[in-house]
Amino acid sequence: MSNVESVFLTVLQRAILGQSAQDITISFSEQEWKDFVALAYRQGTPVLVFNELLLRKEAIPELVRQEMRSTCAMLMLKQPRLQDLLVTTFSTLQQRSLRPVLLKGFGLAELYPRPELRSWGDLDVYVGPDQYHEAAAVLRDAFPNSLHHDEEWEELKHYNFVLPDGLVEMHRVTVKMEHPKDKRIYYALEQRATSAENVQHISLREPANLTIDIPEAKFNMLFTFLHAWNHFVDEGLGMKQLCDVFLLAKTTYEHFSDKQLIDYRNYLIGNLKALHLMQAWQLIGYVLVEYMHLPEQMWLGYWGKDNRWLQKHGELFFRHVMEEGVMRDEAAERMKNRYVQRNKDLKLPLYIRKIKTLRLRLSAYQWLRPYSEEYARHLLAIAFYRGIKRLFKKDEVVLY
């Protein structure tokens, strides 16, 4: 681990725990300061670390200091508009007797010592499959200036409302599961955790006096971890997502009684094994425990750094996160070419198109094997299962 990475992780840990970083000695060259700034952006946590360093009397190059100030100021100006969007969305849905549940970003920001420093650009609202179409109609009326009229803004997992103040993702499911067995397991957990009798209620510090629902604590931990892991698989994983997991794991552990912890452990470990995610859980735990210094007992079921598989693959995983961050180059390129490739493929005969899609899906998950053989095999099996099933469907139109 380089000196820049070591300082970055130390400052980041202090920031998310509300501890001062004044005692850290930083002696960077001008190039190292530029590398530090680039790393903070790559990990999706610029404001958390920039704000902490701006409080120090450090000899930061003037251009770098200006960059840090500008980034922090931009987020501070953006936050009130996003908070207003949150109030509008939830109050509009609640007035129509709908039960929205807040996911990810804004709800998890309340775990931070200063929620306003946790950068977020969209609002994730779960309404469930039963309320989905009614909620979509309500928000279409509430947001007449959004770009929702284009069918490209609706996906299998959620509906996007693109607004000047931010993006609202209205979810019918929290995570899109592919295999029938995974669906049965996960969606049953999701339904229970978001039901009226099981949701938790939180009051946000900003905006004041707004009480909202978030998922049940046990499920919220599973979902937040799964969201982070899916980032790694599909887009790229940075410390932004891992800080959320860190704080949620710490807070949940500290607030549960001994009896609740036993139930919590059984719930997590049992469902992680059923979903073929136990190795993935260990890899993320390796970064949090060994590099962010989360107490080992707070990452339930952790194998420990003496485990030979985890030591080898955990280091590989950590390097991947540090070097690629929240957006892998190949993921960005894939997103850029997505619709161009779709238009080309739609000109192919249907059967050839399906075979090509199956081949692409199988090859896409090969890169995961060095990190988590178990989950990579599971994804390959899912891709093969769906590909063979689609070969015999006559109404296949959308490829990706």
Pairing of strands 166-171, 211-214: unpaired
Interaxial angle between packed helices 30-42 and 62-95, expressed in degrees from 0 to 180 and rounded to the nearest 10: 10
Would you call 152 helix, strand, or coil by DSSP? helix
Cα separation of 244 and 104, whole Å?
A: 8
Q: What is residue 378's predicted lDDT score, i.e. its pLDDT? A: 86
pTM value? 0.85
Cα separation of 388 and 12, whole Å?
A: 46
Q: What is residue 331's predicted lDDT score, i.e. its pLDDT? A: 47
Q: What is residue 187's predicted lDDT score, i.e. its pLDDT? A: 93
Pairing of strands 166-171, 122-126: parallel
Residues of the chain with pLDDT under 50: 149, 151-152, 331-340, 343, 346, 394-400
Residue 213 sits at φ, ψ, to 5 deg, of -95, 140
Cα separation of 144 and 126, whole Å?
A: 21
Q: What is residue 400's predicted lDDT score, i.e. its pLDDT? A: 28
pLDDT in tens, 242-296: 999 999 999 999 999 999 999 999 999 999 999 999 999 999 999 999 999 999 9
Cα separation of 34 and 2, whole Å?
A: 14
List the 166-171 sheet strands across, edge first: 158-163, 166-171, 122-126, 101-103, 211-214, 200-203
Q: Using only the alpha carbons of the chain, give its radius of gyration.
A: 22
Q: What is residue 153's predicted lDDT score, i.e. its pLDDT? A: 52
Query: Could you tell me if 321 and 242 are in contact, meaning their C-beta atoms sit under 8 angstroms apart?
Result: yes
Q: What is residue 113's predicted lDDT score, i.e. its pLDDT? A: 86
Q: What is residue 43's predicted lDDT score, i.e. its pLDDT? A: 92
Candidates 60, 48, 41; CA nearest to 13 is 48
Q: What is residue 246's predicted lDDT score, i.e. its pLDDT? A: 96
Question: Which amino acid makes up residue 86?
Answer: L
Cα separation of 375 and 58, whole Å?
A: 45
Q: What is residue 226's predicted lDDT score, i.e. its pLDDT? A: 94
pLDDT in tens, 148-185: 545 445 556 677 888 777 788 888 899 888 788 888 99
